[in-house]
């Protein structure tokens, strides 16, 4: 993956991770189901507004489809997002060397 694309994807995962944490602090994403609903709404809105450009669109689509496929009882969406973010950070650091 090229560094530019990785930067864009990393920025996307950073933003969604921060958005989840802010929503949780305000009581909007406390349970697994509420968190999933928040994430799916956030993804739709970000996609509609074209906030992250073409590089993150496929990531957004994949994440939305993955969460929807897991069903309403899926409780690990935030953990998944954080893991992807930190893994991307490691890849980026390795490519910068």
Place of tokens 């939305």: 64
Q: What is the pTM of this model?
A: 0.87
Beta strands in the chain (DSSP E): none
Residue 35 lies in domain: 3-96
Measured between alpha carbons, how far is 20 from 30 in angstroms, rounded to an integer?
A: 9
Give residue-wise pLDDT tens across range 3-27: 777 888 899 999 999 999 999 999 9
For the record, the structure tokens of 68 come out as 């929807």
How many domains in the chain? 1
Give residue-wise pLDDT tens across range 31-80: 778 899 999 999 999 999 998 988 889 999 999 999 999 987 888 999 99
For the record, the structure tokens of 40 come out as 């799916």
pLDDT score at 8:
85
């Amino acid at each position: 993956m090229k560094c530019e694309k990785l930067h864009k994807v990393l920025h996307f995962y950073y933003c969604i991770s921060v958005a989840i944490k802010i929503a949780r602090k305000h009581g909007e994403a406390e349970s697994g189901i509420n968190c999933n609903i928040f994430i799916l709404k956030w993804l739709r809105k970000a996609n509609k507004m074209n906030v992250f450009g073409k590089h993150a669109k496929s990531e957004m689509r994949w994440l939305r489809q993955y969460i929807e496929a897991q069903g309403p009882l899926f409780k690990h969406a935030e953990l998944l997002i954080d893991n992807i973010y930190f893994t991307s950070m490691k890849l980026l650091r390795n490519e910068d060397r």
